[in-house]
Each structure stands twice: as structure tokens, then as C-alpha cells.
Structure 1
């Protein structure tokens, strides 16, 4: 979009009672000091925004004469049509007009906002205005119209390991989120790694303290000797135990048969003394003849059976007594004492051997602790690597972005970033011309710097506006700027003159 001024009308604006300025491709304003040359430029900024050329509030009322109303009108072409904007001030009250139609302030501002950004227009119109802004606003304006490097472009410029890692991570999260995640993870892992180191150190100290002092081979050899002796004694005890167990078993069975014999002797006396009843034991009928003989025979038969059973008990007992007579009870008290003695000797050896097993367990614990420590360190280093890669990304992005901006400039250089002691990249904004900071430039150098920068902004934003160069007598040569050129020069002893070419 190209803005072209056509006509500016001033009525009772500061020193100008009635002035009409016709603009051409180049408009030259000349005259002695204090004739209102700069005021023509201020009339434009006051009309549009109520401020002077540097952004301060402006009182447009005359100081050398009386006037009821101040009025400024500007006819310009916005690239498609002519627009006439007017602002008046009467008794401290502002009025606005769009194409001569009275309008509200909101409508007036809406027209301006639809055409251009305020700071952009004022920076394009007045080469010095840009440098009155806060450095953050200056930086934002420059970067607004310069395409930032794409992720792939930055990744490619990084060391391959960093670029590949970040390229994989950004598929799931933004760089900002990745940095937050790994900074939080690093904080946790720092503590975990300290704890893991402490655990490993403690286990190693315990391992050293609990390490067996007697060689395992010596312990096993000594144990083998005592174990062999113990087995030999135990064989004797086991053998004696079998014999003694048989003796105890036989004594028990013999006693049981003796008890059975005594009981049967009592039963035999009762059986012998039993009388033959003359009546049936079952039906109680009197027995006669053969029945009595049968009862007597039954009695004899029972006595014979009982006697046979008794004889068997006696016979079994005697057989067991014969077995018992062939056995001798073995006293193993001496062997038992020997077992106890050998076990006492084996106990400390087994304890020392057990230390080896415990030692192996603690060795495994140390290995596991070392593995956990290494894993924690690897994870920690991974997070540190990613955080450093993100730092490198921002630094490289800043470098590439600064290079893109710098490629647009001829005599100026702009510093967009600075690296902190901790490696962080901090935004900044400094302009130099031929190696000198802007604040140290002479008037002519500052004008040239402003003109170069405003042309860059104009080209990048695709907005072309007139440019007002005040105090042009201080600069003898400069590059023709984009858009209409309005030049104000001091010429001694000359009346105010405005010439459009």
C-alpha cells in the first residue's frame, strides 16, 4: 500500500494562520529559523494522532495571536481512493471529520487503524521517531516484518546430534514445553543422582567392612575335615540307634505279651471254674440227655482253644526274649559329646562361609546400585544435553534471525540478542552505524541512519508513506527514500517557501 499526500491545510495551527501545502514527489520547505518549517510536519502527526513528530502530546494553539479554532486537514490517496481527514480544536474540545463529514473519535481512529499501524506510520514518516520508542518496541517492529527462521533451518545449522534430537522431540512438544519438562526432570535427577551416589558409596563401604578375612578355600578345607569326622561319628550313632531302637521295641512287645499272659491267667481260672448249666443259655429250656453232653463238650472245646491261645502268647514272648538276648544296648553318650564338640568347631567356620554368601549378595547390591547410579546419570546427562541443545537452538535462531535482518541493511548493524554468562540468550536491541552506537551519532548520521532503517521497514511491511526530513541542511547527501520526500532546510534570511516538484 502506498500513501501519497496531496494537500495539507493549516488554520490557526501554531505559527500558521492560514497555510496550504501542495505535495509533489519531492516537496522542499525552506526558510529562516522560527518560520514554522517543522510545524508543517507536526501538523500531520497532530492531525492523525494528536502528537508531535516524536510522539509527545502537542498543543497546536497559536501563542503569538488569538484564534477561536485550530483546524488541520490532509487530503491523501490510500492506494485506491482519496481520503480527506480533518481535526479541529475549539475551546479544548477536539472534533473529527472524514471526507468533511463530522465523525466520532472512534470512527476516525478506525480509519487510521485500517490503513497502517501507528508506530509504523510515524517511523516511516519521521526517520527520528523510531529511535524514541522503547527498545522492546523497536525490536518487535523490526522482527514483525522479518520472517523468523523455520525449525528445520535452525536444526540444520546446529551440530547434527543436537539437531536430530530436537527434531525428534518437537514432533510431540513445543521447544518451550520440552525445556520446561527437562528442566523439571533435571532438578529431580540432580537430587536422585546425589542419593544414588550416596547409596553406592555406603554399600561399598559396608562391602569393604564386611569382606571375609579368611580365604574361602581354607575354610572349606577345614570344614571338610570336621565334616568327615562328624559323619563318621554320626554313622556310629545311627548304627547304635538302630540296635537300641530294636531293643526298645522288643522290650515293649515283651511287656505287652507279659501283660496279656497275666490277663489270660485270670480268665483261665474263670473258665475252669465255669459250671455246666442244666438249662439252655439262650432259650432257658431244661437240657436233657445229648444236650447236656453237647454243653459239656462245648465247655471243653473252649478251654482247649483258650489254652492254645495262651500257649501262643507264651511262645511269642519267649521268641522275643530270645531275640532280645542276642542284642546288646550301645552307649553313644561319648559319640554324642563328640558330635557336639565337632558342631561347635563347625559353627564359626559355617559362619565365616556364610559371610561369603552375604558378601556375594552385597556385591550384587553394589552392582545394582552402580547400575542405578549410571542410569540416573545417563538420564541426567540426557536432560542436560537437551537443555543445552535448546540453548544452542535459541542462540542459532538468534544468529540466523540477526543475519536475516542484517542482510537488509547497508550501513547499519543491529544487535538483537546477547549471550549471558550462564549461556542463556537474552533479547536486546542496539543499532550502530559504521560501528558507532546510535546515541553517539551526529545529527546528519542519525538522519541517514533513520532513513536507511525506515526504508527497510517500508520494504518489509509493504507500506510506503511520505517521509519528512527535518533539518536537512545538516545532511548534504543521502539515498533517495521510498515514497514522497518532504525536505525542510534552514536558509538564512529567507521567507518560508514550499515548492512541490
Structure 2
């Protein structure tokens, strides 16, 4: 895209009451100091952006004479399309015109923005503007118009193992995301590996505390099974004996209970037997008649008969149980219980040996699993370390190739895009321009102008935008490469009034 300035009209702009500038391919502006030379290129930027040529705010109002309105109009050609832009100040308020039509600030700014990027345009117009930006902004602007390196270009410069691994991984994640993933995993596996080592050590210590007993487990289990069989057989016999003994004990207990009842009954007999027959009423104390006395005697005899019948029944029940007890046999099972105890003692060392052997086998299995987990954790950790190293190598090689790619665009300038951290050696984005080994800030005026011209031509070539270029203090440089696009040169000539001449007029 080609941008050309055709005509600038200034009214009450600083020292210019009424000035019209027709621009050619080369426009020379000369004159003594304070004659308004710099105000001309400055007004071009003010018309577009309301700033000076370095992007700073300025006050264009004149000093030393009365004015009603400040106005600057610029007729420019963008890709063969003419646009007339006007900016003014009236009573402290900003005014805007697009092709002589009054416009709002938003409409005006949107139109200017649609024509060209502000930072790029100012960098092309004023070679000094680029160096006023922050290094990160300079870097971004430069790289915006340099073809980005393809991953394949960088992979081709890496060791095969690193290149193959990253080429596979970037199909799913970006390098930035991969770095985040594997930084997190490396930290996680660092901790997990320490824990895994600790578990393996603990299990080994437990294993060392378990005696290593040589035992034929199959044979021992067979012996235990035989002993358990014998115990079961003896227990069956003992249980059968216990059943008989329980019947004996139960009968004996019932006899004892009956005997206690018989004894209690016998103790009651003397009082009943010797009970006197009284001839007076127990309640009212009146003498009883003969009939009543006989009734008392009959009641006593009836009670004696009932007692004797009950006592006899208890005795007969006891005799029956004694007969039953005599038919029962009490079996002593202590011998069987002793046999069971001895068999249990014989079985215990076999069981303990098997349990110890089983415990050792369990611990050995857990140790193998712990070692496998430890190895898996270490492998995951090392994999992340390898990938992070590969990414670091990719970034370093990419930085090197990118720097080379950018550097090849320049002839006298050196461009630094990255710097290396002292602590971890990682490359971080950076930007600095040098000429003949000197940083831009240390260059002389003429050197800084030449550096700015070279840089703006690279930006122009890479962006594909040809814009006018303004060189101030042109008298300070004796030689420089003619920039592409229109050139506006300001030169101090002592004792000379303001003079503007185009290339055609100069001829």
C-alpha cells in the first residue's frame, strides 16, 4: 500500500497564519531556527492523531498573535484514493472534517485507523518514533511483519529424539500448554518419587523384621489338615460324652431339687401332726359346740392326708430319678481335651511358619509393586524433564533462527530479540538495536538518523506499506540511503527565512 501526502493547509497553526505546502517526491524545508520548519511535519501528525511526530500531545495554538480558529488540512492519497482530513480547535473545542464534511471524533478516528496502524505509520514517517516506544512494543511491531517460523523449520535443527517427541506432542497441545503441563507434572512426580522411595524403604524394613523360614507349605498344610481332622474326631467324641454328661448332671440336679422339697415338707409334718384341737372359736373366742369340734377334727385329718399324699409323691419322684440316674454313666472328657490341646500345640508352629511365609510373600509382592510404582514415577518425571529440555532447546533454536531471520533484513544494524537469564539460562523476550556495537541510546545524532532510516525501510519492506518519511536535522548527516516513498527533509540554514521547495522546484 502506498501513502502519499499531496497538500497541507495550515491556518493559525503555531507560527503559520496561512500556509499551503504542496508535496513532491522530495520536499525540502529549510530556514533558520524558530522559522517554523519542524511545525510542518509535526502538523501532519497532529492532523492525523492529535499528537506531534513522536506521538506526544501538543498545543498547536499560536503565540504572539490573535486567532479565531486553528485548523490543519491534509490531502493525502492512499492506494490511489484521495482523502481530505481536517482537524481544528475553536474556543478550546476540537473539530473534525472528512472531505470538508464536519464529523464526529469517533468517525474521524475510525477512518484514520482504517487507513493505517498508528505505531507503524509514525515509525515509517518519523524514524525516531520507533525508539520512543517500550522495547516490548518495538519487538512486537518488528515481529508483526516478519514471517513466523514454522515448527518444522525449528524441528529440523533439533536432535532427532527431541524433534520427534515434540512433533508428536504438538498435534494435541501448543508448546506453551505442553510446558505448563510438564512443569506441573515434573513438580508432582518429584514429590511422588520421594514418597515412592519412602514406601519401598519402609516395606524393605518390614521384610527384614520377618524371619525367613524354610518351610514346605504344601507339606505343612497337609499336616495341619491331618491334625485338624484328628481334633475334629476327638471333639465329636467329646461332644457326644458331653451330651451324656449333660443328661446325668440334669438328673442329678433334679434329684437335688426334690430332696430339698422333701426336706422342707418333712419339716412341716411335726407341727401339723401335733396340732391341738381347740374347743373355742379362733376368732370370737366363744366355746364350740360338739358339731363344730368334730368339724375341726375332720379338717385336721383332711389336711394331714393331703400332706402325706404330697410328701409321698415327692419321695416317689426322687426314687424314679435315682433309678434313672443309676442307668446313666458320667464320662470323664479331660483326656480328650488334653489330646486336643497337644494336637493344637503340634499345629501351632506349622501355622506360624505358614503365616510368616505368607507375610514375607505379601511384603515381597508389595515391594515389587512399590518398585514398579517408583520406576513408573521416575519415568514420568524423566519424560517431563526430557520434554521440558526439548522445549527449551526448541525455544533457543527458534530464537536463534528468528534472530537470524530478522538480522538478515538489516545491513548495518544489529537486532537482539532475546536475552538469557543468569539464573536458569532460559531465553526471555528482549529487544535492543545496536549500530557498530553501540546501543541506539548511545548513538550520535547522525548515527541515530541513519539507524532510524534503515529500520523504517525494513518495516516498510516487511509490512508492504510505502509511506512518506520525515528527516529532521538533515544538515547533521552528509550521507544516507534514500528511503522509499516521499521524503520530507528539514535543514537549518542560518539567517534564512522559511523556504519550501519540492523536487521539481529544486530542478
Which TM-score band applies after superposition, normalised by the shorter structure?
0.7 to 0.9
Shift in Å, 1:452: 0.8
CA displacement, residues 412-467 of structure 1 (integer Å, 9 cap, x when unaligned): 12222223333443222211122111111111111111111111111111111111
Q: Distance in 1 between matches of 2:45 and 2:139?
A: 23
Aligned to 1:75: 75
Distance 2:204 2:414 in 1: 60
Does the CA contact (< 8 Å) of 1:391 and 1:423 recur in 2? no
Counterparts of 1:348 and 1:418, CA distance in 2: 74
Displacement of 1:117 in angstroms is 0.6
Name the counterpart of 2:396. Answer: 395
State the alpha-carbon separation in 2 of the partners of residues 467 and 211 from structure 1.
92
**CA apart distance, 1:15:** 1.3
Give the superposition deviation at 1:384: 2.1
State how far apart, in whole Å, the 2-side matches of 1:378 and 1:112 are.
58
Which residue does 1:462 correspond to in 2?
464
Alpha carbons 1:33, 1:490 under 8 Å: kept = yes
Could you tell me which residue of structure 1 aligns to residue 482 of structure 2? Answer: 480
Q: Distance in 1 between matches of 2:42 and 2:173?
A: 50
**CA gap 1:341/1:85 in 2 versus in 1, 3 angstroms:** closer
Match of 2:267 in 1: none
Tell me which moved more, 426-435 or 352-361. Answer: 352-361
Secondary structure of 2:191's aligned partner: helix
Q: Deviations over 1:341-379 (max 9, x none)?
A: 898588557745753453343223222211111011111
* CA-CA distance at 1:170 after TM superposition: 1.8
Aligned to 2:30: 30
Please name the residue that 1:187 is paired with. 187
Query: Is the counterpart of residue 131 in structure 1 residue 131 in structure 2?
Result: yes
Q: Which residue of 1 aligns with 2:119?
A: 119
Partner-residue secondary structure (3-state), 2:460 = helix
Partner of 1:427: 429
Q: Secondary structure at the match of 2:494?
A: coil
Where does structure 1 lack aligned partners over 5 or more consecutive residues?
Answer: 232-236, 249-332
Aligned residue for 1:482, secondary structure, equals coil
1:367 corresponds in structure 2 to 368
What secondary structure sits across from 2:97 in the alignment? strand
Counterparts of 1:352-363 in structure 2, within 5 Å, are 355-363=356-364
The residue matched to 1:146 in structure 2 has which SS? Answer: coil
Encode CA deviations 1:31-68: one digit per residue, 9 max, x unaligned: 11111111111110111111111111111111122211
Q: Secondary structure at the match of 1:37?
A: coil
Paired with 1:343 and 1:89, the residues of 2 have a C-alpha distance of: 114
Secondary structure, aligned partner of 2:156: helix
The structure 1 residue matched to 2:442, chosen from 437, 440, 443, is 440
| CA distance, structure 2, for counterparts of residue 107 and residue 371 of structure 1 | 69
Residues 219-368 of structure 1: pairs in structure 2 closer than 5 A = 348=349, 351=352, 355-368=356-369
Is 1:199 the counterpart of 2:199? The answer is: yes
Q: CA deviation at 1:394?
A: 2.5
Counterparts of residues 54-73 of structure 1 (less than 5 Å): 54-73=54-73
CA distance in 2, matches of 1:35, 1:24: 21
In structure 1, how many angstroms separate the alpha carbons of the residues matched to 2:68 and 2:394?
Answer: 62
TM-fit CA distance, 1:471 = 0.8
Cα separation, 2, equivalents of 1:89 and 1:343:
114
Question: How big is the shift at 1:165?
Answer: 0.9
Preserved CA contact (<8 Å) 1:13 1:62 = yes
Secondary structure of 1:157's aligned partner: coil
Distance 2:69 2:344 in 1: 124
Q: Distance in 2 between matches of 1:425 and 1:56?
A: 33
The structural deviation recorded for 1:19 is 1.9
Asked if 2 retains the 8 angstrom alpha-carbon contact of 1:124 and 1:458, the reply is yes
Relative to structure 1, the CA distance from residue 346 to residue 450 in structure 2 (aligned partners, 3 Å threshold; closer, same or farther) is same
